[in-house]
Amino acid sequence: MKCRRCGEVAQVALPSHHTGFCPTCFLDFFRAQVARAIRRHRMFGPDERVLVAVSGGKDSLALVHVLGEMGYQVEAMHIDLGITGSSEPIRAFVEDFCRTRGHVLHVVETAADGLAIPDVKRAVRRPICSMCGKIKRHWFNRFAFEHGFAAMATGHNLDDEVSRLFANTLRWDAAYLGGQGPTLPGEGKFVRKVKPLCRLTEFETAAYCFFQGITHWHEACPYSGGASFTSHKRLLADLEQVSPGTKMAFYENFLHTGRPAFAAAGKAGYGELQACAECGYPSSGEICGVCRARRMVAGTGPT
Ligand code: SF4
Ligand code: ZN
């Protein structure tokens, strides 16, 4: 197969786009897809500061790198969860990546907020990943808000978005269907959330990392019990194989037709929230889940 743009030997086949690219033209294609997502979904402009949550996985590393390459005012943030034997090497890896690639990196230690994940796991009687996710989202937003970032970007790709959409559709979960999308506008102390890789698949992101020489952290968290949505991703991969372009069409048609219908039902957005009495960030109750967890770890709240 020949590269569609320059006629050189293609090294990446993209059946969903009925095409293939050589490495140079693939990188142009990748940046063009990111630019299109940013423009079409009004994510941020060149004068706005963007914070990227960098976990050490390929998607977040690819995201901070491509936004930097494209000239955006991007900075990275890593959350050190305080998991002995796991968090230290991941943090060192991310620090090394940002140093060698010239990205500004901020590190937040949850232990400094009384929320080292092993302590939370011991104190809180609920699945640790749900609590850990809540703590990470809280600190990502809080840091972005307190440091004046216009948007916070995550490395969710098309496969993540489509498998989540598929799960929400199977349940006809109107609240989530109304709120799902590549841009969630900011509101009060919530900073705008964006997903610039939403038009790119896992394969395409992996290919970008390969051609850019980006290695990523492979080891799973000791508390992970297997990724959710894996079976949905497998089903969707089968569909894509039979009918290339299905995933993108499903997602685009949802954004165009499905989401407005659910948003009109008034269930999109952040819902009714009040300021947490302890941290001041939006909460569905008097004290937010993160502050409740901190109390439990400290032994000053219910367990
Ligand atoms: Fe947190 Fe580990 Fe669960 Fe991921 S797998 S949410 S890092 S506890
Ligand atoms: Zn709080």
DSSP 204-226: HHHHHHHHHT-----PPPTT---
What confidence tier does 227 reach under pLDDT thresholds 50, 70, 90?
low
What confidence tier does 268 reach under pLDDT thresholds 50, 70, 90?
very low
**Ligand nearest the Cα atom of residue 79:** 1
Supply the residue whose CA is at minimum distance from atom 6 of ligand 1: 129
Which phi and psi angles does 246 have, rounded to 5°?
-60, -45
Structure confidence by residue, pLDDT tens digits, 141-184: 999 999 999 999 999 999 999 999 999 999 998 888 888 899 99
Name the residue with higher pLDDT: 51 or 233: 51
The pLDDT of 252-271, averaged and rounded, is: 76
Model pLDDT, residue 266: 52
pTM score over 0.80: yes
CA of 16 to the centre of ligand 1 (A): 32
What confidence tier does 270 reach under pLDDT thresholds 50, 70, 90?
low
Which phi and psi angles does 78 have, rounded to 5°?
-120, 135
Model pLDDT, residue 262: 85
- Residue boundaries of the structural domains of the chain: 39-216+228-271
Which phi and psi angles does 19 have, rounded to 5°?
-155, 175
What confidence tier does 267 reach under pLDDT thresholds 50, 70, 90?
very low
Model pLDDT, residue 126: 82
* Best residue for ligand 1 mutational test, from 223, 228, 230 (most atoms within 8 Å of Cβ): 223
For the CA of 222, the nearest atom of ligand 1: 2
CATH class of 39-216+228-271: alpha beta
* Gap between the Cα atoms of 286 and 82, Å rounded: 27
- Give binding residues for Zn(2+) as ranges: 3, 6, 22, 25, 276, 279, 288, 291
The pLDDT of 79-87, averaged and rounded, is: 96
pLDDT > 90 fraction of the chain, expressed in percent and rounded: 80
Assess whether the C-beta atom of 215 lies below 6 angstroms from ligand 1: no
Helix 202-212 × helix 58-69 angle, to 10°: 60
Ligand 2 ion: residues within 5 Å (CB): 276, 278-279, 288, 291
The ipTM assigned to this model is: 0.98
Could you tell me which of 165, 161, 177 has the C-alpha nearest to residue 261? 177
The tally of CA atoms less than 13 A away on the side-chain side of residue 181 is 26
Could you tell me which of 275, 270, 278, 281 has the C-alpha nearest to residue 295? 278
Least confident residue range of 119-123, 191-195, 221-225: 221-225
